[in-house]
Amino acid sequence: MSVAALRRATRETVSGLPREFWWLWTSTLVNRLGAFVATFMALYLTLGRGYSATYAGLVAALHGLGGVVSSIGAGVMTDRLGRRPTLLVAQASTAASVALLGFMHHPVAIAGVAFLVGAASNASRPAVQAMMADIVRPEDRVRAFSLNYWAINLGFAVSSMAAGFIAEVSYLAGFLIEAGMTAVCAVVVFVKLPESRPPRQTGTGKGGGDEVRLGTVLRDRRFMGVVGLSFLVALVFQQGAVGLPVAMGTAGFSPADYGLALAVNGVLIVALQIPVTRFIERRDPARILVVSSLLAGYGFGLTAFAGSVGVFALTVCVWTLGEMLNAPTQTGLVVRLSPTQGRGRYQGMYTLSWSVAALVAPLMSGLVIDRFGAEWLWGMCAVIGTVAAIGYAVLMRRLDAQEPATDEAPAATAKPEVSPA
């Protein structure tokens, strides 16, 4: 592709989206640029504080548990209070709890505040995704979710590099910088983003707000099928952060080798997410979800044959492509199946699938590697990816055979419930 063609593709990818989306995108980018704590938490606890690896794992698990607990509650808040208040509460709470964590010394206090950080930081996700669905036209949502996903990974790539330098100077500085940047995100939301929640409806149709409860979500078999498949895919993708470093360490590779192999993931996403978005935007989501599941499963499955850093990096390329295909397409499917008045609850349940996977994945990888060896873990990833692909094929076939879900015009075109400050 020529430079001119690349510029044209980039311009077409970012054009036509509402101004509110770009403020939300900016908030996401700033938030991820300051995400230092998750990157150096294990080093902070083991090297900075002298705690054991077991304790560091416990703190990480409590951080993940906080995300599990907040997923559903944040979804309910998003529907009841609105997207904007939920984002404000979540980001302000994250800023306060991250700053507090930097001053904690007692192991019980650190663990407790880490749980609060996990709960607060995860609470913004249902609101962000619901607001994005509100303000972006249905035909542009896959593109919008791809751009948001690109911002997340760009921010993470930069913050991961910066975290190492900051940690060498002061761990406390990292906590305070993240707290400050999260507070900036809260200010952006408060000043620039109006409430996007659609006006409540009193009818009994699909958009009727009085009908959408957590029980409604749980009884929605099609959507819960997506949640289950999302959990399987997330379980596979989590192995990049939990199973892969353990397996490479067991095989005699250094942390630097793992960092080099995993860096391919961030580089590819930052470099290729926009072209990939152009490729998938108008294509059949069923095929994309099937292919992405197979790429994820067999990308990790091929790790069983890796014997060098270069081969590990090649396997990362395979499952990263699956990640780039899956993330925006699956998020778009969640919006497609969500009633307008229940987007927060539906997004909360979808977020829960990833939060639970983040808890289960470390337990699964550790148990399998210790008892059977890393090759069994990678074989399981291939099997799980295949099961997810079959599941998506069946679910999407049934979904396409039924009447398409009603999708209203974006709420950004209607009068917002709350005016921006």
Percent of the chain with pLDDT over 90: 25
pLDDT at residue 378, as a whole number: 94
Q: What is the spatial distance between Cα 388 and Cα 273, in angstroms, rounded to a whole number?
A: 23
pLDDT at residue 64, as a whole number: 81
List the chain domain ranges.
17-199+214-413
pLDDT at residue 385, as a whole number: 96
Could you read off the pLDDT of 151-186 as tens digits, one per residue? Answer: 888 887 777 677 767 777 888 888 998 899 899 888
Mean pLDDT of the chain: 82
Angle at 327 between CA 59 and CA 62, to 5 degrees: 10
Q: What is the pTM of this model?
A: 0.75
Could you read off the pLDDT of 19-50 as tens digits, one per residue? Answer: 889 998 888 888 887 777 776 777 688 777 88
pLDDT at 380 over 70: yes
pLDDT at residue 303, as a whole number: 93
CB atoms inside a 10 Å sphere around CB 65: 18
Q: Is residue 307 exposed (0-12), middle (13-18) or buried (19+ Cβ within 10 Å)?
A: exposed
pLDDT at residue 298, as a whole number: 96
What are the distances in angstroms from CA 67 to CA 61, 120, 155, 197, 404? 10, 8, 20, 23, 32
CB atoms inside a 10 Å sphere around CB 54: 8
pLDDT at residue 216, as a whole number: 84
Q: What is the spatial distance between Cα 319 and Cα 384, in angstroms, rounded to a whole number?
A: 13
Could you read off the pLDDT of 55-107 as tens digits, one per residue? Answer: 877 887 788 888 888 888 888 888 888 889 999 999 999 999 999 999 998 99
Q: What is the spatial distance between Cα 69 and Cα 82, in angstroms, rounded to a whole number?
A: 19
pLDDT at residue 12, as a whole number: 66
Could you read off the pLDDT of 284-305 as tens digits, one per residue? Answer: 889 999 999 999 999 999 999 9
CB atoms inside a 10 Å sphere around CB 29: 18
pLDDT at 411 over 80: no
Kindly state the tokens that stand for 71.
């997923």
CATH number of 17-199+214-413: 1.20.1250.20
**How confident is the model over 317-338, as a mean pLDDT?**
90
Could you read off the pLDDT of 201-218 as tens digits, one per residue? Answer: 655 444 444 467 778 888
pLDDT at residue 205, as a whole number: 46
135 alpha-carbon distance from chain centroid:
20
Q: What is the spatial distance between Cα 25 and Cα 416, in angstroms, rounded to a whole number?
A: 19
**How confident is the model over 312-320, as a mean pLDDT?**
93
Side-chain half-sphere CA neighbours of 287 within 13 A: 6
Residues in contact with 85: Cβ distance below 8 Å, sequence separation at least 6, in sequence order = 77, 195, 418
